[in-house]
């Protein structure tokens, strides 16, 4: 089954955030709890852990992109 990964909304006020770095690449095995990507906004770095285990199948944004909260940024294939 494929699961969409969304840009998390880290606070009520947050409308967008910068996806500062990917810690995994397309094709990588991802385990639940692994750091998938990092967000940086207002000089705060947040490591975002994967909620799923599977293969990181697709990535729709690259490091440095400013992305709206809840936008789909990647797909993990959990099969």
Q: Provide the binding-site residues for another protein, judged by CB under 8 A.
A: 10-11, 13-14, 18, 20-21, 38, 40-47, 62-65
Nearer to another protein, 21 or 77 (CB): 21
Six token digits for residue 57: 């199948």
Give least dist CB 4 to another protein, A: 22
Give least dist CB 24 to another protein, A: 15
Nearer to another protein, 10 or 78 (CB): 10
Closest alpha carbon to 42 in 12, 16, 71: 16
Pairing between β-strand 35-41 and β-strand 16-22 as defined by DSSP bridges: antiparallel
Helix (H, G, I), strand (E, B) or coil at 34: coil
């Amino acid at each position: 089954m494929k699961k969409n990964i969304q840009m998390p909304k880290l606070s009520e006020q947050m409308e967008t955030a910068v996806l500062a770095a990917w810690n995994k690449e397309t094709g990588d095995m991802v385990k639940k709890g692994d750091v998938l990507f990092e967000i940086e906004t207002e000089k705060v770095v947040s490591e975002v852990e994967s909620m799923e285990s599977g293969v990181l199948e697709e990535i729709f944004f690259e490091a440095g992109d400013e992305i709206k909260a809840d936008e789909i940024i990647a797909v993990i294939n959990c099969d």
